[in-house]
Structure 1
Amino acid sequence: MASSSRRRIPEFELVMLGGGGVGKSAITIQFMQSRFEVNWDPTIEDTYRKTAVVDRVEAMLAITDTAGQEEYRLMRPGYLRSAQGFLLVYDITSRQSFNEVNKFHEEILQTKDLATYPAVVLLGNKVDLADRRAVRTSEGEELARRFKCQFMECSAKFRENIDEAFHSVVRAVRKYNHKSILDRTADLLAGEDGPERPHYGEEEHKGGCCLIS
């Protein structure tokens, strides 16, 4: 008789965010299928599922690849509310795409109603086009400090830092969830009359940043 106590793999809802043409779909396809998709129609919404082993622990990744174009902005709050982690992508050859990252990050904070949200990886794509670079690595690092999130650069074409980016956001979600559980447990132990503890990400409402991991 089959066992009724099969171990459940924890699921992580992740969302790809960034302007149109920055390579969100190419990054996702490279992670999912280990291939570089050259000709890809603009995305409205695609969803993918993949089991990954992160730090020797299995995780089910449910990835939503979203449209970056402004006309699809009203669709995004639904994805953002349920998502646990975000890959915030820009194109290192496009100053405009780097500037647009701020509005996507602000949408995350507004939807989550938090001052900071650490389960984010800021990702500068297309390092294979370094001769056309318009955004310095140091600028990406500085923006990640303001966002209080992790940062790396990648190449969807050559699969550079692709697995690392997804694994990093899973780690960030795990850390965030663990810290939230500890805070709630401490509140329960303190009792109703105990001192109120700030929850992770809510210490400063709408201000401040975190270090790059």
Structure 2
Amino acid sequence: MKQSKVVGLTGSIATGKSAASNIIKSLGYDLIDADKIAREIINDEDIIKNIKENFGEDIYINNNLNREKLGKIIFEDSEKRKILNEITHPKIYSKIKAYIIEGKSEIIFLDIPLLIETLSDIEKYDLHLDEIWLIYVNRETQIKRLMERDNIDYDYALEKVSSQMSVEDKLSYADVVIDNSLTKEDLEEKIKKELSNFKRR
């Protein structure tokens, strides 16, 4: 059986990566959601044990992770974020690789929000990507959409956008850039066009 091609799909906050993921799935392609895998493995016994040892017993309440508390800790402390990644990433990437092997479609999409920021991990865990596709909107559109989506003011939206790697800085890493400034229908047409182009490459 011919091995599937693997496309890394990424974006930045409020650029529309989730909308792109939904379109890709609706077109019948396998899509592996790294965030979903991370949410699943966080309840594995060995992961719970390691997180409690490094972040305190009270980070879980009745074996349910206090995501808000953990999120705040790793947002404010890069060393703690590194520790969490060291606990969770081996299992996350192991599952991703297993899903790729099991994949049925000719192109498998791998949805990783911070894909470009974690390229060294992708290399470290021996994960091969044939291409990287970036869902893009300019910064002002990003801020405007984030304000509407999360019902927050401009300053808070700007702070959230500024806390991440700029979507402009991600452009040079992408093999394909899909501009999502217009409608969902336009986004779908662009994705279909890129799929067609990719199959010819």
TM-score by length of 1: 0.40
Structure with greater helix percent: 2
Structure with greater strand percent: 1
TM-score by length of 2: 0.41
Structure with bigger RCO (C-alpha 8 Å, 6+ apart):
2
